């Protein structure tokens, strides 16, 4: 006999796991902020990121396993998996940033990443809000508004990138520093792009189910 209780329990499991993954993405930004405050802590930030990413990878694997074991899902299977993968890429990219930063922390000790951090905090907070809303079948207008905010933040990140590149290419810094900083800037901009990708997936899901 088909059990409604079991069905709704499995439905909540998917939403719980997706929301948990979105929280991990948000927490990864806080970890980057603390690393930027004191990048000379050595390997401990990388250890923390490794644990966080493994935890998020485990969440993604749990979602895939649940998809194979559940006959009826609250959203289409490909949408659930696409969202899980998009969320996982956020902390994964931030871990790469942390790795590059700690290769030569003294080179970046005076670098101000505060504007990128502000954008990342807003973007990951919006991602968490959108992911959390999925379980309550949100209206298309509210999701569209939040998705447009992510598009706006991506645009602001692009403007900031151009400004930073203009400074880098001024010829006032040595080539190694220019290459190193550009690499870090690119990774932070990519995180904003990852957040936008999550927003697009969620908007597509809500639009399809509205």
Distance CA 102, CA 187 (A): 14
Residue 51 contacts by C-beta under 8 Å, 6 or more apart in sequence? Answer: none
Q: 127 Cβ partners below 8 Å, 6+ apart?
A: 22, 25, 26, 87, 90, 150, 195, 198, 199
pLDDT along the chain (210 residues), means of 10: 40 90 94 80 70 86 88 87 94 91 80 94 97 90 96 96 92 87 95 97 91
- Distance between CA atoms of 33 and 118, rounded to whole angstroms? 10
Q: What is the CA radius of gyration of the chain?
A: 19
CATH number of the domain bearing residue 125:
1.20.58.220
**pLDDT at site 40:** 58
Nearest to 118 by CA among 210, 183, 30, 23: 30
Q: What does the pLDDT read at residue 3?
A: 38
The two three-digit tokens of residue 196, written as one number: 């936008």
Spatial contact of 124 and 26, defined as CB atoms under 8 Å apart: yes
Q: How far is CA 35 from CA 39, 99, 122, in A?
A: 5, 11, 19
Helix (H, G, I), strand (E, B) or coil at 210: coil
The residue count of the chain comes to 210
pLDDT given at position 39: 62
What residue numbers bound the domain in which 181 lies? 4-209
In this structure, what token pair is assigned to residue 27? Answer: 């927490």
pLDDT reported for residue 68: 87
Per-residue pLDDT at 183: 95
* Calpha distance 171→188 (Å, rounded): 23
pTM of the full predicted structure? 0.88
DSSP string, 17-76: HHHHHHHHHHHHHHHHHHHHH-GGGTTHHHHHHHHHHHHHHHHHHHHHHHHHH-SS-SS-
Q: Which residue has the tokens 């990342």?
A: 120
Residue 34: the pLDDT is 86
Q: Look at the chain and report how many structural domains it folds into.
A: 1
Q: Which residue has the tokens 């409604």?
A: 4
């Amino acid at each position: 006999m088909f059990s409604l209780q079991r069905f709704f329990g499995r439905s909540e499991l998917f939403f719980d796991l997706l929301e948990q993954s979105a929280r991990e993405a948000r927490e990864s930004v806080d970890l980057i902020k603390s690393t930027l405050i004191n990048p000379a802590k050595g390997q401990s930030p990388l250890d923390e990121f490794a644990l966080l990413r493994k935890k998020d990878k485990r969440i993604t694997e749990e979602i895939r396993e649940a998809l194979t074991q559940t006959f009826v899902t609250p959203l289409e299977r490909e949408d659930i998996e696409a969202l899980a993968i998009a969320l996982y890429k956020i902390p994964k990219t931030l871990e790469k940033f942390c790795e590059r930063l700690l290769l030569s922390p003294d080179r970046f000790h005076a670098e101000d990443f505060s504007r990128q951090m502000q954008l990342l905090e807003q973007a990951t907070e919006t991602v968490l809000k959108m992911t959390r809303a999925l379980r309550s079948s949100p209206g298309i207008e509210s999701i569209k508004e939040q998705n447009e905010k992510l598009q706006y933040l991506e645009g602001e990140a692009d403007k900031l990138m151009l400004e930073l590149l203009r400074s880098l290419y001024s010829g006032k810094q040595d080539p190694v520093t220019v290459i190193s900083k550009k690499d870090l800037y690119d990774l932070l901009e990519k995180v904003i792009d990852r957040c936008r990708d999550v927003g697009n997936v969620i908007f597509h899901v809500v639009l399809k189910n509205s």
